[in-house]
Structure 1
């Protein structure tokens, strides 16, 4: 959530950056500033009236102590109006603050100055490509056929148990999942992240804190009886560990990692491009999250991007890094890198990770602060990234590594899988 003071001091810049994000409701900016003016005026009226009432109360006390009861009663007769005004101004202030809050949460985060202008994914900027795309034989199979051939994943059984998008992993398919999760967590630990195990359900305050609510409620599974949401990503519970927390400056950066299943409704996702593991309602993911000093957040973003790229390199997967254009970014991010692996059987790029800097946007919602060198509290910056999401990693590993002898397991995973081939 943006801060009103920043909007007021940088109105033209705010409008220009909102345009980069293709945000059309720019009238909200003037409405927010007008409401804030009204809030200040009402607060001043409340404060001055309260001051008059307090002064009158002291005056009455002095008159009573000096025996001037008649004069005290005259002053007391005037306090009724002040009480009514204080109540009225207080109610007006509450209503204004609520309306101001509702309008503020409708403004997305401002994109960083390096974010390219654009609306569609085709306008994202390719930062780099790494590795050679494998050439597969003519009879190469896509991952959903490989999964059936080697009895790794049963999509139909998942439909029977739950519905489409909830696959059942079997045998070596299940072991490959577990191997990837352990590998990603071990690599995160080597990079200085502390592992946490997290609830898979969160309350509305947690969803609001990281920006999923009210923006993405349509994509989240809601447990109505308990007013809880199944998590769409571990980002939500990990970051909310620090909601309403004031950290010490020497505690930064905070680095956490967590594995969780993730749940997304993915409403409206149909077609061949979402077949198999390409898009699921339930999937596994390892997330990395950092809370950092504002001065270091963009260098940390590059560090996190490098960490994810290192995982892809160790798995031997060709990949590319995209800097997302303004129109393709999330509501909450200031700058996002997407990592995509090349699916040799499908002949297309598949997104496997997003790494984002949210600057103070989440921290302001979370009231996540630190005490700076001057002893004053200051909003921290938050960042997170997938390191990694498993479904499309599994898809590209199966497709790119298929051979006449079966599917070759990357060397770094063999200590975890305890087999070198799926055959």
Structure 2
């Protein structure tokens, strides 16, 4: 996510770090490189120029040239401006109304139908809502079926009228169905359309007028860069939507849409899609995204994801096992499953400060745990519960059974042993004290 932009900004800041004496010329050179990095990320020229002008004005106002660490101050100023550029504060979703009606709009192929499912799943699991999906795409072949498949995969009902070709009628009937059956959120998935298609744009404007939704969201593929921003403006002129959804942010995106869409349409980015799974949806935090772009990671989001998968009862059981030195490979496997639920590995690594830079040439696959799981599954129940009995003969059998090499089995055994010792140490007075201190840190309660 934004790897190319992060690299170029890092190089820009090196101009300041590389000089013993900081001058206005150095600062100007740095900001010139920052502007170039933004332009390469598909940010509009005027926005990039205004951005660096504001940073320069603040730098002069804060006496960046006379501070002991001018490079760090410059990074902070850029971070603050990036945060403002992307919206400043986090924007919540309006869940008023009975039911709340959310209208999804966007281009063809933007990932709107899939994201409708992700949003429904998010509201169901995180906000304790009972959502209904309404299929109003009457043009695309198999669109209704696709929404039903998505709904079935997350246990959410889909309302559709396959024979009806009037999206206004379908949407209104869907809301009636929701009221009659106790649904408190209605997510209306409309057909993707081109901004230049006047007939289609009039149609969604009619759906919007008839529904009077609490939220109208514009879904855009972040891979399309500056084109996405221009399209957003055309849609906003017709719908006056409430917020933006950026999909495919986990891809090799240059970042132009995320960085500039707020300043062009003056509407906040509310959610982002970060993968293919139904759980791959994040509330958009401008400040956290700015941190990640500048290689500072996003520890708060990482902790929040971990807490979502955290089971207190299981943790207590695990603590007792560790204390009795009974931590086995079955327990290890459970921990791996919980980590996998947190999201794709590349995204998680990007949340650790400095990790993206340190591992930028390392390809992190989503199935990074594949070999470890295969090795553990090749063990007998007794071997999993008592790893100490695994000798050379057993290791050879496990390697053959898992399709791995004996070196990989040995490496896993060594890592497991080191982790067990570390976990045992954490049970001591010093470890418990450290855990208490971590618990008092912001965002770690």
TM-score w.r.t. the length of structure 2 is 0.23
- Higher share of residues assigned helix: 2
TM-score w.r.t. the length of structure 1 is 0.24
Higher relative contact order (CA closer than 8 Å, sequence separation 6+): 1
Structure with greater Cα Rg? 1
